[in-house]
């Protein structure tokens, strides 16, 4: 006999969403209220919250390419990639991305999120085991949830934990999934060691290089390239075009047969309208800028290290940035929110990461460096953030 279900009461139409108010009240109680803060086209605020790491979103070469392509090709791509949504711009972008990163082929998605969903689900399934770092990005987690694979999330940055999970898996096929630069603390995964472990255990390695692409590696070729793994037959990389490239969209990079498989099976590719032509053109232009100015990524790293060093000197708990992301621990969610708001009042916009955006439950201010930050910007940011720090920020574990 089936167990009795919950008592179902007759509910008025205007009461069916009452539970949302209860949940909103719970979030407010825990200091987890979120709201949208629309920005104007221009602002005097110093932006240390966005992901425009190379300062290309407004670069005339990039924005101008988007405008010209929009006029030529239209505002939207008009259909999914397999129907009318693939233009010559998409093919050119895929060809150029693959050439730049030293891989056989690339496939452009409408976002980094859909690229991750597509890659994880299409490269696993009910017959697979997936082993992930426990701090991977939400889009990869969603891919794992949709995959129907056996999923094990293991200790952060720990190749031996990955090896153990692979050795004890119950499925023959296996995929190891990690971010390169982790989005919360900005630390770098041990990609070389992870690749070694994958090889020992017959697993493929999928790396989300959203925060490494355009910032790390020779001329911004990314963390996978820097680790010497680009072009390997068992390594697949996902990137976003929406951070360092200042555009919009995402891509999967890897062996030709992987890309062919994604075209034919990845649901977030097949059932999604292709990337807008303007975004594809903007990404192509950004690639051109990066090729012409290969020292841009170093400027991001200099700014990130300057921010981290200054804040650490001021006694705050600061991560060691591998790329553009610098994170500063806050005593709690409410403190983090008030700290970020106080910085905004002083003209410094910083990110505020609270649960559920922080996998370890520790709230943080999250700062992002950009290539176009002047030394005086870094100094001003350090001064304001340190002065406004809540009393317990310096003793936060
Ligand atoms: C690590 C990581 N992966 C994937 C994404 C998703 O990329 P997109 O914003 O292009 O969808 C993000 C963006 O927030 C990210 O930080």
Ligand 1 center from residue 318 Cα (angstroms):
22
- Ligand 1 atom nearest the C-alpha of 114 is 11
d(CA 90, CA 198): 32
Name the more confident of 7 and 228.
228
Q: Best of 180, 183, 185, 215 to mutate for ligand 1, by most ligand atoms within 8 A of CB?
A: 183
Cβ < 6 A, ligand 1 pocket: 111-113, 116, 137, 139, 179, 183, 208, 210-211, 240, 242, 250
CA-nearest residue, atom 15 of ligand 1: 210
Asked whether the beta carbons of 190 and 222 are under 8 A apart, the reply is no
Q: What is the CA radius of gyration of the chain?
A: 22
- Ligand 1 atom nearest the C-alpha of 137 is 1
pTM here? 0.95
Ligand 1 center from residue 113 Cα (angstroms):
6
d(CA 232, CA 230): 6
Mean pLDDT score of the chain, rounded to an integer?
95
d(CA 102, CA 30): 47
Q: Please count the other Cβ atoms lying within 10 Å of the Cβ belonging to residue 180.
A: 28
Tokens of 233: 């037959």
Ligand 1 center from residue 16 Cα (angstroms):
33
Per cent of the chain over pLDDT 90 is: 88
Asked whether the beta carbons of 366 and 336 are under 8 A apart, the reply is no
- Ligand 1 atom nearest the C-alpha of 242 is 10
- Ligand 1 atom nearest the C-alpha of 211 is 1
Name the more confident of 9 and 342.
342
**Per-residue pLDDT, 94:** 98
Q: Which residues pair with 254 in a beta bridge?
A: 105
Ligand 1 center from residue 135 Cα (angstroms):
13
Tokens of 102: 């030293």
- Ligand 1 atom nearest the C-alpha of 113 is 11
Name the more confident of 355 and 51.
51
Ligand 1 center from residue 315 Cα (angstroms):
31
Ligand 1 center from residue 265 Cα (angstroms):
22
CA-nearest residue, atom 16 of ligand 1: 183
Asked whether the beta carbons of 179 and 189 are under 8 A apart, the reply is yes
**Per-residue pLDDT, 397:** 65
∠ CA 40-372-302, nearest 5°, is 135
Ligand 1 center from residue 179 Cα (angstroms):
10
Q: Where in the chain is the domain with CATH 3.90.1150.10?
A: 295-395
Per cent of the chain over pLDDT 70 is: 99
d(CA 9, CA 222): 55
pLDDT digits (tens, 9 = 90+) for 140-149: 999 999 999 9
**Per-residue pLDDT, 87:** 98
CATH C-level class of 295-395:
alpha beta
Q: Where in the chain is the domain with CATH 3.40.640.10?
A: 60-292
**Per-residue pLDDT, 285:** 98
- Ligand 1 atom nearest the C-alpha of 250 is 10
CA-nearest residue, atom 8 of ligand 1: 112
Picking from 281, 320, 175, 151, the residue whose alpha carbon sits closest to that of residue 234 is: 175
Picking from 275, 207, 201, 287, the residue whose alpha carbon sits closest to that of residue 239 is: 207
b/e code 31-66 from CB counts within 10 Å (16+ = b): bbeeeeeeeeeeeeebbbbebbbbbbbebeebbebb
Ligand 1 center from residue 312 Cα (angstroms):
27
pLDDT digits (tens, 9 = 90+) for 11-38: 899 999 999 999 999 999 987 888 898 8
Ligand 1 center from residue 289 Cα (angstroms):
22
Q: Residue ranges of the alpha helices (H) in the chain?
A: 18-29, 60-73, 88-101, 112-122, 138-147, 159-167, 191-200, 223-226, 256-265, 267-270, 277-292, 296-313, 333-345, 375-387
Asked whether the beta carbons of 236 and 96 are under 8 A apart, the reply is no
pLDDT digits (tens, 9 = 90+) for 254-273: 999 999 999 999 999 999 99
Average pLDDT of span 212-225: 98
Picking from 337, 351, 339, the residue whose alpha carbon sits closest to that of residue 47 is: 351
Three-state SS string across 275-333, please?
A: CCHHHHHHHHHHHHHHHHCCCHHHHHHHHHHHHHHHHHHCCCCECCCCCCEEEEECCCH
- Residue 373 gets which letter from DSSP? -
CA-nearest residue, atom 9 of ligand 1: 112
CATH C-level class of 60-292:
alpha beta
Picking from 214, 243, 247, the residue whose alpha carbon sits closest to that of residue 61 is: 247
Name, in order, each residue with C-beta under 8 angstroms of 194's C-beta and a sequence gap of 6 or more.
159, 162, 176, 178, 205
pLDDT digits (tens, 9 = 90+) for 52-94: 999 999 999 999 999 999 999 999 999 999 999 999 999 999 9
Asked whether the beta carbons of 256 and 98 are under 8 A apart, the reply is no
- Ligand 1 atom nearest the C-alpha of 181 is 1
Q: Best of 187, 188, 207, 243 to mutate for ligand 1, by most ligand atoms within 8 A of CB?
A: 243
Ligand 1 center from residue 238 Cα (angstroms):
10
For residue 396, name the pLDDT band (cuts at 50, 70, 90). Answer: low
d(CA 299, CA 5): 60
For residue 7, name the pLDDT band (cuts at 50, 70, 90). Answer: confident
Picking from 341, 342, 350, 354, the residue whose alpha carbon sits closest to that of residue 378 is: 350
pLDDT digits (tens, 9 = 90+) for 98-145: 999 999 999 999 999 999 999 999 999 999 999 999 999 999 999 999
């Amino acid at each position: 006999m089936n167990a009795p279900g919950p008592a179902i009461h007759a509910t008025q139409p205007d009461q069916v969403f009452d539970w949302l108010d209860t949940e909103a009240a719970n979030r407010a109680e825990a200091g987890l209220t979120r709201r949208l803060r629309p920005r104007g086209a221009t602002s005097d605020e110093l932006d240390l919250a966005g992901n425009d790491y190379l300062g290309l979103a407004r670069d005339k070469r990039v924005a101008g390419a988007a405008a010209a392509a929009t006029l030529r090709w239209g505002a939207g791509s008009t259909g999914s990639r397999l129907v009318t949504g693939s233009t010559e711009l998409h093919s050119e972008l895929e060809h150029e991305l693959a050439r730049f990163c030293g891989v056989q082929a690339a496939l452009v998605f409408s976002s980094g999120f859909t690229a991750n969903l597509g890659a994880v689900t299409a490269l696993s399934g009910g017959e697979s085991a997936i082993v992930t770092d426990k701090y991977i990005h939400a889009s990869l987690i969603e891919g794992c949830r949709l995959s129907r694979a056996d999923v094990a999330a293991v200790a952060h940055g720990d190749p031996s934990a990955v090896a153990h999970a692979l050795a004890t898996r119950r499925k023959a096929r296996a995929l190891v999934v990690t971010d390169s630069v982790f989005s919360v603390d900005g630390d770098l995964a041990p990609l070389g060691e992870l690749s070694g472990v994958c090889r020992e255990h017959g697993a493929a390695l999928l790396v989300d290089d959203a925060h490494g692409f355009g910032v790390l590696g020779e001329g911004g070729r990314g963390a996978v390239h820097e680790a010497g793994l680009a072009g390997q037959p068992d390594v697949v990389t996902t990137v976003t075009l929406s951070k360092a490239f200042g555009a919009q969209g995402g891509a999967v990079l890897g062996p030709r047969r992987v890309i062919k498989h994604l075209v034919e099976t990845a649901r977030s590719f097949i059932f999604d309208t292709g990337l807008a032509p303007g975004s594809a053109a903007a990404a192509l232009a950004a690639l051109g800028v990066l090729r012409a100015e290969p020292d841009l990524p170093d400027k991001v790293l200099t700014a990130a290290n300057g921010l981290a060093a200054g804040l650490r000197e001021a006694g705050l708990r600061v991560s060691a940035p591998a790329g553009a992301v610098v994170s500063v621990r806050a005593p709690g969610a409410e403190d983090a929110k008030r700290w970020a708001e106080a910085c905004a009042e002083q003209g410094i916009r910083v990110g505020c990461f609270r649960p559920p955006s922080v996998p370890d439950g520790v709230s943080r201010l999250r700062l992002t460096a950009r290539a176009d930050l002047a030394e005086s910007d870094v100094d001003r940011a350090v001064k304001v953030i340190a002065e406004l720090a809540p009393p317990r920020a310096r003793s936060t574990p």
